[in-house]
Amino acid sequence: MLKVCTVNSQNKYKINNYNGIDLKNNDNILKLYNMLENNNVNIAGTQELTSRCLKRLKEFCLPKYKIVGKYRLGNNILTNINEINKFNETNSIITTEKIISYKTKHLYLSGRILSRIVTIAHIETKEDGELLFLNTHIDYKNIKIKEKELLMILKIIKDMTKLNLPIVLTGDFNLDITDKVFSNFVNELERIGIKRIPISNKTHKHVIDEAIDHIFVSNDFDIISYEIIKEDRFSDHYPVVATIKKNNKD
């Protein structure tokens, strides 16, 4: 069995040089690490991790966890453009399992300096063999941009199905199942054998009764359980954790 997770760590960019410790002296990066540990998470997709937060998270996680994923501006941060750097985040993948390879793809849209990204890792798990794990963060505002980004991700996934490996997709999609563009995306994934874990309760404190953080898994996996973690909150999002198991169906 595998424990997989999606978690938006929240970029508190209004706090100068934010490294995970907020104005009330809460160590939100330590809380994130404790959430992974307490829930025995094997693979997590994260969103909104900045360089300062990621540096501290690695101090907690290594060597048990491996962390991969490049920044939206690449790994050469433009330190002289502070306003942009506030949003130079990663969609890092954190795992206890073996990483065979990884890459970060940009979801390019014309005229956008900070395009959204998707991080992809080829992972070999101890119990369930190899899989492809994708993690992303969709635009929060413009529905047309959201739709284009979803179509780009869908194309990436369809191309990857040629590898005949199970797929797990996590992310902050900033969309609920009631949104048409997202339900279309869900339906297209179902057509190629990838199902959404049916989270329906709110996963963001500012959104009433809507799930915008989602996990998708290939039909190769049975969904054993899933939950939204709300205790000891360290972000404006709630982590979603699911237990899945390879069903070994041909």
Per-residue pLDDT of the chain (250 residues; tens, 9 = 90+): 999 999 999 999 999 889 999 999 999 999 999 999 999 999 999 999 999 999 999 999 999 999 999 998 865 545 445 556 788 899 999 999 999 999 999 997 766 767 899 999 999 999 999 999 999 999 998 999 999 999 999 999 999 999 999 999 999 999 999 999 999 999 999 999 999 999 989 999 887 778 999 999 999 999 999 999 998 899 999 999 999 999 976 5
Rounded to 10 deg, the angle between the 180-191 and 143-160 helix axes is 10
Dihedrals phi, psi of 21, to nearest 5 degrees: -100, 115
Alpha-carbon distances of 165 from 132, 199, 221, rounded to whole Å? 7, 24, 11
What CATH number should be reported for the domain whose range is 2-246?
Answer: 3.60.10.10
Q: Are 43 and 66 in contact (CB under 8 A)?
A: no
Bridge partners of 104?
A: 119
Domain ranges for the chain, please list them: 2-246
150's CB contacts (< 8 A; 6+ apart) are: 138, 173, 181, 182, 185
100: which residues sit within 8 A by CB, 6+ positions away? 122, 123, 124, 130
Q: Contact at 8 Å (CB) between 170 and 4?
A: yes
